[in-house]
């Protein structure tokens, strides 16, 4: 009898322990949901306030203001936009998918409104470049220096070679509206300048040296090789291209069927992209190590395979929108 009573007591105790464990589990789940709900509510409140403030401030930008007033105003609102974007990035771990997409759409709308307002109040000026030959093989078109007239355009073989002033300052240069050609920029031409490449098709572009930033828009079937960049690279609306980039961080939007050989000390961020491949930086030329040093990039840190996909929030499965280029498919490009 004592043995049976002991066994019944043990079974009763186990059932009690199981009940208590289940109650504790439900209590913890309830607390977690409540915490996440509170975090989401706090995010929505803070995010909405920031977005409303930026929209309200942008409404105060008008033609009656001097350029000396508008420039710092645009700088400040862009800083606020970046802070809000970082706030969203840091919060995706607990936000529902629809809240993330909604916030992304709001930020994109604000970014578009800022760009339109900037075009309206501080329209971009165009600058012409002289061209040189015999600086690199194959007689590449070479960006040299400003012409005396800031509105002058130089023609070579019947095609305009022009530099583009983009939002950010007087030191913005680049190539635009070219096809089926080879273009090059020397170290002296691009040193600590913001480079913009846009509307190019079937072109090969080589930028030697150390630019400060890189903006790439609407390229098709191009090969882009760029020396170490001090800050970030921004790529959007590209198809069927190859990129070799070294920078602090690279952000890629609405791009497909492209490969990126990169050296990044931060990480790569993709959004609305598909079939983009990543591999280590693969371009070398004389003076590359010195350019890395000037750009402030560490050669021993390369997070080329640390890619954040803003359209893929499931941490348990890898994003289907990007892939690592197989080692046997990687090619090193070395300048003579």
Residue 4: per-residue pLDDT: 64
Element (H, E) at 280: strand 274-280
Residue 157: per-residue pLDDT: 36
- The pLDDT tens digits for 183-200 are 999 888 888 788 999 999
CB atoms within 10 A of CB 7: 10
Q: Cβ neighbours of residue 165 under 8 Å, at least 6 residues apart?
A: 124, 125, 126, 127, 172
Distance of alpha carbon 143 from alpha carbon 133, whole angstroms: 10
Task: Tell me if 166 sits within 8 A of 124, measured CB to CB.
Answer: yes
Distance of alpha carbon 144 from alpha carbon 283, whole angstroms: 23
Q: Which residue, 149, 150, 141, 146, is CA-closest to 129? A: 146
Q: Can you list the domains of the chain with their CATH numbers?
A: 22-121 (1.20.58.1250), 126-334 (2.160.20.70)
Residue 243 vs residues 202, 211, 328: alpha-carbon distances, Å: 13, 15, 18
Distance of alpha carbon 221 from alpha carbon 225, whole angstroms: 13
- The pLDDT tens digits for 222-272 are 999 999 998 889 999 999 999 999 998 899 999 999 999 999 988 899 999
Task: Tell me if 203 sits within 8 A of 220, measured CB to CB.
Answer: no
Q: Which long-range contacts (CB under 8 A, 24 or more apart) does 13-19 make?
A: none
Task: Tell me if 231 sits within 8 A of 225, measured CB to CB.
Answer: no
Q: Which long-range contacts (CB under 8 A, 24 or more apart) does 136-139 make?
A: 136/184, 136/206, 137/336, 138/182, 139/182
> CA 299, 304, 306, 307 torsion: positive or negative?
positive
CA 237 to chain centre: 12
DSSP-derived letter for residue 161 is E
First to last CA, the chain: 94
From first to last of its 336 residues, the chain has per-residue pLDDT tens of: 566 666 666 776 777 777 776 666 655 554 444 444 457 788 888 888 888 888 888 888 888 888 888 888 888 888 888 888 888 877 777 777 777 778 888 888 888 888 888 888 887 654 444 333 333 333 333 333 323 323 333 333 333 334 443 333 444 578 999 999 999 998 888 887 889 999 999 999 999 999 988 999 999 999 999 999 988 899 999 999 999 999 988 999 999 999 999 999 888 999 999 999 999 999 999 999 999 999 888 888 899 999 989 888 777 788 899 999 999 989 999 998
Residue 103: per-residue pLDDT: 84
CB atoms within 10 A of CB 97: 11
Distance of alpha carbon 58 from alpha carbon 199, whole angstroms: 29
Burial class for 37, CB neighbours closer than 10 Å (0-12, 13-18, 19+): exposed
């Amino acid at each position: 009898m004592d043995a049976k009573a002991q066994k019944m007591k043990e079974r009763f105790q186990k059932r009690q322990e199981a009940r208590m464990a289940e109650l504790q589990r439900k209590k913890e789940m309830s607390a977690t949901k409540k915490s996440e709900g509170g975090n989401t509510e706090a995010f929505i409140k803070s995010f909405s306030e920031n977005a409303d403030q930026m929209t309200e401030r942008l409404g105060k930008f008008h033609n009656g203001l001097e350029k000396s007033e508008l420039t710092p105003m645009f700088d400040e609102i862009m800083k606020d936009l970046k802070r809000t974007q970082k706030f969203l990035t840091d919060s995706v771990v607990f936000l529902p998918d629809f809240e993330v997409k909604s916030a992304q759409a709001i930020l994109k709308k604000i970014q578009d409104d800022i760009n339109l307002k900037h075009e309206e109040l501080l329209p971009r000026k165009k600058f012409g470049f002289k061209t040189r030959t015999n600086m690199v093989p194959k007689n590449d078109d070479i960006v040299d220096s400003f012409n005396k007239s800031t509105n002058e355009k130089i023609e070579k073989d019947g095609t305009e070679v022009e530099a583009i002033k983009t939002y950010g300052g007087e030191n913005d240069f680049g190539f635009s509206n070219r096809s089926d050609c080879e273009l090059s920029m020397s170290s002296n031409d691009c040193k600590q300048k913001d480079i913009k490449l846009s509307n190019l098709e079937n072109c090969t572009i080589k930028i030697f040296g150390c630019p400060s930033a890189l903006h790439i828009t609407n390229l098709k079937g191009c090969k882009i090789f760029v020396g170490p960049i001090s800050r970030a690279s921004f790529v959007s609306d590209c198809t069927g291209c190859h990129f070799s980039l070294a920078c602090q961080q690279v952000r890629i939007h609405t791009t497909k069927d492209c490969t990126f050989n990169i050296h990044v000390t931060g990480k790569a961020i993709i959004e609305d992209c598909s079939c983009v491949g990543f591999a280590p930086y693969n371009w070398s030329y004389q003076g590359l190590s010195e350019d890395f040093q000037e750009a402030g990039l560490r050669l021993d840190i390369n997070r080329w395979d640390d890619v954040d996909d803003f359209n893929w929030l499931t941490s348990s499965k890898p994003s289907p929108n990007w892939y690592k280029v197989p080692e046997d498919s990687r090619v090193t490009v070395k300048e003579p």
